Amino acid sequence: MSPASGVELAHPTDFATLMTLEQHGPDTWVGLSAEYPWGRIYGGQVVAQSLRAALMTVAVDYLPHSLHAYFIRGGDLSEPVRYEVDRLRDGRTFCTRAVVARQSGGAILNLSCSFQRAESAAEVQTARMPLAPVPDDVRPHAEDWPWIMEKRPLVSYPGAGQSMGWVRIKDRLDEDPRLHVCGLAFTSDTVQFNAARSIHPIQVPQEKYHETFMGASLDHAMWFHRPIRADEWHLYQWDCHGLTGARGMTVGNLFAPDGTHVASIAQEVLLRERRSD
């Protein structure tokens, strides 16, 4: 139920519907949340919907090249999210937007993003895709994600400081490149936690993790390098650069199956031991 209206919300069950935002005044949009079994809004959804709202305010020949976001508080599944866009600058090649995602309890995410018109320039790739089994050879991860996003994480062994996994949007999307870049943002808040968990001095089985630790995404940055299809498999490769102050610093690359480097990502995660006192 929505606290404001007392009306039962219809939770989207596919990505295209999730990205269908309703305009509520100048540069303001409202989006609904999928129903996640862990009881709060998935952070990647708020990033993707914020980016979608920002895209509504830029010309169609601009595409995002970077975004930076802070997760402020957990989102409430029982009410819509309001996205307020600030047009910071419109230039001939670049334009910049700021987005605040709000619910009745206050802001839940603050995002800045920059957009660029396509330019013909040097094309060089130095990042190399790591060796990994193909998605069909990796066991599906269906416990939390029976819909919208499909994950196939690889095992991250204790002490590795790394994690990898294949991810894609489950439903076939149309050709709109803006929808696919939002899909990439949606899938980006995943897989990295295992890189941080693997180097923690306390190692527990996956089923005991939530009893032992409190985890959350704190801040998130992405750089978009090349066009992608979010409904096709991509490989995330994450490295954890260390743990301090209950925070883990993770840095990752995203590759298409042919080895094309499509994005770079950095995220700080919360990895706090639960205390009995």
- The answer to whether residue 116 is catalytic is no
What share of residues in the chain are helix, strand, coil (percent, to 5)? Answer: 15, 40, 45
pLDDT confidence of 144, banded at 50, 70, 90? low
| Of the candidates 193, 181, 249, the residue with the CA atom closest to the CA atom of residue 42 | 193
The Cα 93–Cα 227 span in angstroms is 18
Which pLDDT band holds residue 143 (cuts at 50, 70, 90)?
Answer: low
How far is it between the farthest Cα atoms of the chain? 59
The SS3 assignment for 186 reads helix
Judge whether 50 counts as a catalytic residue. no
Torsion of CA 101, 35, 7, 82, to 10 degrees: 10
Q: How confident is the model at residue 28 (pLDDT cuts 50, 70, 90)?
A: very high
Q: Which CATH architecture group holds 15-117?
A: Roll (3.10)
Question: Could you tell me which residue, 37 or 16, shows the higher pLDDT?
Answer: 16
The mean-pLDDT minimum among 38-42, 139-143, 170-174 falls in 139-143
Q: What amino acid is encoded at 227 in this protein?
A: P
- Active-site residue, from 163, 188, 198, 217: 217
Residue 5, pLDDT above cutoff 50: no
In the residue annotation, 162 being an active-site residue is answered as: no
Residue ranges of the chain that CATH labels 3.10.129.10? 15-117, 137-273
Query: What is residue 147's predicted lDDT score, i.e. its pLDDT?
Result: 81
Count CB neighbours of 63 within 10 A: 17
Q: Which of 50, 103, 189, 192 is catalytic?
A: 189
What's the pLDDT band for 2 if we cut at 50, 70, 90?
very low
Give 53-72 as a 3 state SS string. HHHCCCCCCEEEEEEEEEEC
The pLDDT, as a whole number, for residue 1 is 37
Q: 137-273: CATH homologous superfamily?
A: Hotdog Thioesterase (3.10.129.10)
Whether 187 and 149 have beta carbons less than 8 Å apart is answered as yes
Given this model, what pLDDT does residue 191 score? 86
Using one digit for the tens of pLDDT, what is the confidence trace for 180-235? 999 999 999 988 889 999 999 988 887 777 788 888 899 999 999 999 999 999 99
Tell me, what's the pLDDT at 10? 83
Per-residue pLDDT tens over the stretch 40-84: 999 999 999 999 999 999 999 999 999 999 999 999 999 999 999
Summarised one tens digit per residue, pLDDT across range 232-271 is 999 999 999 999 999 999 999 999 999 999 999 999 999 8
